[in-house]
Amino acid sequence: MTADLSAYAGLSRRVAGLGPEGEIGFDPGCFPDGLHERQDFGELVIDSGLKRSIAWLGEGPDLPFEILDQVHSTDWYAEPEGWRRIGLWLMHLLLSGRDWAGLTLTHAESRIAEIYVALDRPRPASSFVDWAAPVQVAHVIHMPRPVARHAFADPPKADPPRIDDLRDRPMIRHGWRDQAARHRGRAEEADQVILSLTLEGTVALAELWLDFAAPGEARDEINIESPLAGFGATQPGSIEARFWKPGSFAFYCDRLDDLRLPDRA
């Protein structure tokens, strides 16, 4: 296993040792000075070019048509330590003052080569008003919570709820490094995943990944589904994401290095 994002190793051990009643405060001083625009990360594999289909009407013999919604999706695979480190990286971005950062996924099995996170900071509603400085987060208190399968959906699917404002749900998009592929816009050719998050949404996703990695957390699958064809957990128009840990339905082995993604025709 590639030992990257190693600067978070000590903080990761502290988070892993919290226990269900613990808490930890994050501020800029918890993290290394500065945050690189891009860093290598070998502990995450993402499969892309996937679709989930939902039939709403016409499956029976009474209608000569069928309404079938299709949503593009991604599958994310990591061991608990990988989920914890990407959660800390996201928390670092939130507290760094940067507006975006990326990870180059170096694991040979990953079909996505890069992920980027762009922060959507609050802005004045009026174009005639300027703020002296962008809104920044100074401190976050993290208290471990159980993880629901549909963690960002409305209650009771999300219990405990993690998103209070629907605008804080993530927007997830495909990206293409190659310009010609970008113009074609085919999901199966995408080699980037780009997340747009509000500040509160960034906290929610970072804490979700930290909780997903907790030693006592039995949940091994999280579904971040479209509100148009699933248990809403994203912005409308977003692609979906599923997060997997070892031993789950899709992550059938114990180690990321043993994972083999399904062949695609």
Per-residue pLDDT of 55-93, as tens digits, reads 766 666 777 777 778 899 999 999 999 999 999 999 999
Mean pLDDT to the nearest integer, 243-252: 97
What's the confidence (pLDDT) of residue 179?
93
Going by DSSP bridges, is the β-strand pair 114-120/100-105 parallel, antiparallel, or unpaired?
Answer: antiparallel
Indicate if the pLDDT at residue 50 is higher than 80. Answer: yes
What's the confidence (pLDDT) of residue 57?
67
**38 domain residue, yes or no:** yes
Domain total in the chain: 1
**179 domain residue, yes or no:** yes
CA 58 – CA 234 distance, rounded (Å): 27
**141 domain residue, yes or no:** yes
- Cβ density class 217-229: b for 16+ within 10 Å, e for less: bebbebbbbbbeb
pTM of the model as a whole = 0.93
**165 domain residue, yes or no:** yes
Per-residue pLDDT of 195-209, as tens digits, reads 999 999 999 999 999
**263 domain residue, yes or no:** no
Helices then strands, counting H and E runs in the chain, come out as 4, 11
**171 domain residue, yes or no:** yes
Please tell me the least confidently modeled range out of 1-15, 26-40, 48-62, 105-119: 48-62
Whole-number mean pLDDT of the chain?
92
**128 domain residue, yes or no:** no
**222 domain residue, yes or no:** yes
Range of the domain at 216: 6-122+136-258
Indicate if the pLDDT at residue 95 is higher than 80. Answer: yes
Per-residue pLDDT of 174-232, as tens digits, reads 999 999 999 999 999 999 999 999 999 999 999 999 999 999 999 999 999 988 778 88
Contact indicator for 49, 70 with CB cutoff of 8 Å: no
